[in-house]
Amino acid sequence: MITVGITDDEPLFAAGLSMILNAQPGMRVLWHAGEGGEAFRRQEEEPVDIVLMDIQMPGIDGITATRQLVAEATPARVIVLTTFDTDRHVLGAIEVGAAGFLLKNTPPAGLVSAIETVHRGDAVISPGPTRKLFDAYRGDRSSLKWHQVSLSTDQRTVDSLSNRERDVLTLIAKGLTNQEICDHLWLSMPTIKTHIGNLIAKTASTNRVQLALFAFRTGVVATGP
């Protein structure tokens, strides 16, 4: 059973998500919170596996709530919900540990698939929206941690990657799952996991979503159309 919490200040939207998810076999919504502080309290009282998190809410915003939730002793994996695929706040949520983001107009089947993907330990990476998001704000990074990282440091990191690590990084940024990367490169799952672990360590990332953004930021995968 995959348990879900929904954090959104629009009751009708949250109710609609609950109806969709509760209709799925093996999936159950345990709570709804109207802002980040309430989500944190609800997670302490009734922990869930996945939290769907709006970003801009009254009270504690989604970025702060995401940081708190992923740092908990029993952490939830957070999927950010956003109305616009150029919402700069999404990058802040990813930086503090969100497992990906979805547009609020994502079809129900896509939402269910994303939750299942994140529950398995993967991340939600939609190459088109992710590329568009980063391309829109690559010149405005003052609020992000990576603004403090020099271009030369980035380039040294890229130069330190093996050819196979670059291949794996490129496929991660294109949204492929571990199994799809295995099939594409004709490599075993333990080998792929080793490459991903090495990439996370070398790039100082915390998850594969941050790896994807590193790939876009450094030009390993092109941004733009």
**CATH code of the domain containing 159:** 1.10.10.10
* pLDDT class of 23 with cuts at 50, 70, 90: very high
* pLDDT class of 169 with cuts at 50, 70, 90: very high
Please tell me the least confidently modeled range out of 41-50, 77-86, 121-130, 175-184: 121-130
Q: What b-and-e string marks burial along 109-131, b requiring 16 or more CB atoms within 10 Å of the CB? A: eebbebbebbbeebbbbbeebbb
Question: Do 29 and 102 reside in the same domain of the chain?
Answer: yes
Of the candidates 178, 86, 79, 196, which has an alpha carbon nearest to the alpha carbon of residue 130? 86
Please tell me the least confidently modeled range out of 16-25, 69-78, 156-165: 69-78
Phi, psi angle pair for 54, to nearest 5°? -70, 155
Range of the domain at 54: 2-124
Question: Do 78 and 27 reside in the same domain of the chain?
Answer: yes
Contact 137, 86 (CB under 8 A): yes
Question: Do 12 and 86 reside in the same domain of the chain?
Answer: yes
Question: Do 120 and 9 reside in the same domain of the chain?
Answer: yes
Please tell me the least confidently modeled range out of 43-52, 76-85, 106-115, 174-183: 76-85
User: Per the domain annotation, does 75 fall within a domain?
Assistant: yes
User: Per the domain annotation, does 132 fall within a domain?
Assistant: no
User: Per the domain annotation, does 47 fall within a domain?
Assistant: yes
- Straight-line distance from the first to the last Cα atom of the chain, in angstroms, rounded to the nearest whole number: 39
Contact 101, 175 (CB under 8 A): no
* pLDDT class of 142 with cuts at 50, 70, 90: very low
Question: Do 16 and 95 reside in the same domain of the chain?
Answer: yes
Question: Do 52 and 157 reside in the same domain of the chain?
Answer: no
CATH code for position 70: 3.40.50.2300
Question: Do 153 and 120 reside in the same domain of the chain?
Answer: no
pLDDT at res. 101: 85
Question: Do 158 and 74 reside in the same domain of the chain?
Answer: no
Q: How does the average pLDDT of the chain come out, rounded?
A: 83
User: Per the domain annotation, does 204 fall within a domain?
Assistant: yes
User: Per the domain annotation, does 98 fall within a domain?
Assistant: yes
Question: Do 108 and 159 reside in the same domain of the chain?
Answer: no
DSSP string, the chain: -EEEEEE-S-HHHHHHHHHHHHTSTTEEEEEEESSHHHHHHHHHHS--SEEEEESS-SSS-HHHHHHHHHTSSSPPEEEEEES-TT-THHHHHHHTT--BEEETT--HHHHHHHHHHHHTT--B--HHHHHHHHHHHTT--TTSGGGGS-HHHHHHHHHHS-HHHHHHHHHHHTT--HHHHHHHHT--HHHHHHHHHHHHHHHT-SSHHHHHHHHHHHTSS----
Of 80, 95, 124, the position where a domain reaches its end is 124
pLDDT at 14 over 90: yes
pLDDT tens per residue, range 25-84: 999 999 999 999 999 999 999 999 999 999 888 888 888 899 888 887 667 899 998 886
β-bridge partners, 4? 29, 50
Question: Do 120 and 34 reside in the same domain of the chain?
Answer: yes
Question: Do 106 and 176 reside in the same domain of the chain?
Answer: no
pLDDT at res. 221: 78
pLDDT tens per residue, range 205-225: 878 888 887 887 788 876 555
Of 124, 153, 174, the position where a domain reaches its end is 124
User: Per the domain annotation, does 73 fall within a domain?
Assistant: yes
Question: Do 109 and 171 reside in the same domain of the chain?
Answer: no
pLDDT at 146 over 90: no
Q: Which two tokens stand for residue 61?
A: 């915003």
User: Per the domain annotation, does 208 fall within a domain?
Assistant: yes
Instruction: Count up the domains in the chain and report the number.
Output: 2
Of 124, 159, 189, the position where a domain reaches its end is 124
Distance CA 164, CA 194 (A): 11
pLDDT at res. 148: 46
User: Per the domain annotation, does 140 fall within a domain?
Assistant: no
pLDDT at 163 over 80: yes
